Structure 1
């Protein structure tokens, strides 16, 4: 029998406890969350992987052919066809949809876990929440894009003005802009979980994210950095077959006197391995996204203490006091 203990979200946690609770949540919900991710985010992720894998295989064949025959106009013709740009557009759209579906699945699963206080989350409940928040997530991505473009235009104008004054000022501004973007990237990292858990508007959620992260930026950065590194290392291990097959294809093309493109079976294997590695990469995105969620609850508890207030309100109705120690 599974020794299940509900994870209390609203708690203050240090770095090691946030790491522990992230992996404990995955252990508790591996089946339910994994099933939800595979059936909800899996189809668009696999479609994206197949399309990108096919595109990369065709591009590799084109590059090898150009290197062999020296036909420089081949790439120009390929890049100016409507089919090429339609492929690019479809890859971007599918990539955004797959990322949105994965992130929405994770965050809505967290909300359902908090509401039901169990890891027996029904797939239908997760799917219903994902459907109801899909356009909110797409809108958030779109508004982030517009905001990024607006900031980019302001920066370009600012740099042009500085360039007329001094090159040294442009260099200093470049460093300042870089650090600003790094800070802002992690300062807004709580936006999606805030919109999901608190049902805030876009700009209100960004403002709240900045407020919560203020004074705890380094802990947010450190947690996400470590979880991203762990996920990246695992995803690279899974991607080894794809990279090995790519090297074999490249060596085959360069070792023959007459140009021979990869066989159809090799192309199918290459696309399949790429799709698998892309699927694993998206699934491993659960690590930093869960870390963001637990950092959100940690920061809310530190600054607003809803969990502590709930314990105080329940003092008269609870049984014998518990130690509230997390046993991981």
Structure 2
């Protein structure tokens, strides 16, 4: 149990961002995870079920083709199922983002050192923020996707195909820090419209480009490692099964229909891993976002100064909490 409250609104260097993030997750990770299962879990389970159904149907169709007895493939049903899949995962993604950031918001606003944040409080906050967050995240996705497509089309039209990969990769590297490290918490905590969020994000990152890029890169490594740990056992089982079938039936397409349970279990564990990695991502992103806000405006320090003599003990502690965070 932390004896001092983790202060999000504080200037930190590269290592201190991770120290603060892990210190916060040490005390709150499993509670946030439970709340994710309760609030976002049902939507993700729909996505998991639909994904499993798609994989089973595709496998049945592929197997029938390899055996020469082609079953009719209903593109209409496939399209509807795929759209339901996309919608359920998008809603689940918005729910995950809303739950984690709502928990952080309630933690920051609580005067207690170790606030006992309840599921009902988080759910009430999520209901307030859901549609605003969903709309802006959808706009961000469309905006970024449109920019990338437009860029590639222009490159093709002017005949610079050889540069497509390199410029596309550079564009990704350029946008990643803004999206991964700053934009999502800005959308949630900024409480403003889409275009102001985009503008403010660029303003925050200006002068802190390499720090944001480095944090995004290290954060991605941590997230991918956690995801790989959840995925690898099932991937290994699938590979062993495929090699075994190819050895016993040379020239035949591997049939995974007998491994439906394994496939479903793999998707479930991947989804749980996805949720765990997003807790890591959103917490680190929030810590860095408030770090950048403090560097630009110092709102957190101003709040502490204004609170002197107000009797709010949670704000009387020193600005720096590195000694506490370094324990983790």
Give the Å deviation of 1:259: 8.4
Distance (whole Å) between structure 1 residues aligned to residue 17 and residue 241 of structure 2 = 43
94-103 vs 242-251, greater mean Cα deviation: 242-251
Contact 1:32 1:119 in 2 (8 A): no
What is the distance in 2 between the residues matched to 1:32 and 1:129? 16
1:141 aligns with 2:110: no
RMSD: 2.8
Q: CA deviation at 1:87?
A: 2.0
Q: Is the contact made by 2:2 and 2:27 (CA closer than 8 Å) also made in structure 1?
A: no
Query: Which TM-score applies when normalising by structure 2?
Result: 0.85
- Structure 2: how far apart are the matches of 1:21 and 1:57? 43
Q: Deviation per CA, 1:97-147, whole angstroms, max 9, x where unpaired?
A: 111111111111111111114431111011111122111122112212332
Q: How many residues align?
A: 316
**What is the deviation of 1:291?**
1.0
| CA offset digits 1:41-91 (Å, max 9, x no partner) | 122222222322332344345445544x367xx49x53x521221222121
Q: Which moved more, 1:236-245 or 1:315-324?
A: 315-324
Asked if structure 2 preserves the Cα contact closer than 8 Å seen for 1:235 and 1:280, the reply is: yes
Which residue of structure 1 lines up, in the alignment, with residue 226 of structure 2? Answer: 234
Q: 1:29 is paired with a residue of what secondary structure?
A: helix
1:175 aligns with 2:166: yes
Of stretches 302-311 and 21-30 in structure 1, the one that deviates more from structure 2 is: 302-311
Residue 199 of structure 1: how far off its partner (Å): 0.8
Match of 1:284 in 2: 277
Equivalent residue, structure 1, for 2:178: 187
8 Å contact 2:100–2:283 — kept in the other structure? yes
Match of 1:312 in 2: 305
The question of whether the paired residues in 2 share the 8 Å contact of 1:245 and 1:270 is answered with no
3-state SS in 2 of match to 1:285: helix
Kindly report which structure 2 residues correspond to 1:39-118, keeping only aligned pairs within 5 A, or say none: 39-67=38-66, 69=67, 74=70, 78=73, 81-117=75-111, 118=114
Give distance in 2, aligned partners of 1:17 and 1:212.
Answer: 18
Residue in structure 2 matching 1:132, options 114, 128, 135:
128
Separation in structure 1 between the aligned mates of residue 272 and residue 151 of structure 2, nearest angstrom: 36
Unpaired runs of at least 5, structure 1? none
Report the counterpart of residue 210 of structure 1 in structure 2. 202
Tell me if structure 1 keeps the 8 A contact 2:246–2:254: no
Distance 1:253 1:59, change over 3 A: farther
Using the alignment, how far apart are the partners of 1:279 and 1:46 within structure 2? 10
* Aligned counterpart, 1:246: 238
Q: Could you tell me how far 1:11 is from its partner in structure 2?
A: 0.7
Deviation at 1:313, TM superposition (A): 3.3
Q: Which moved more, 1:214-223 or 1:293-302?
A: 214-223
Distance 1:58 1:26, change over 3 A: same
Please list the CA deviations of residues 235-258 of structure 1 after superposition, one character each: whole Å capped at 9, or x if unmatched. 212222321332244245434459
Shift of 1:16: 1.1
Matched residues in 1 for 2:224 and 2:36: separation?
Answer: 18
Q: Is the 8 A contact 1:102 1:282 kept in 2?
A: yes
Q: Is the 8 A contact 1:188 1:210 kept in 2?
A: no
Matched residues in 2 for 1:11 and 1:245: separation?
46
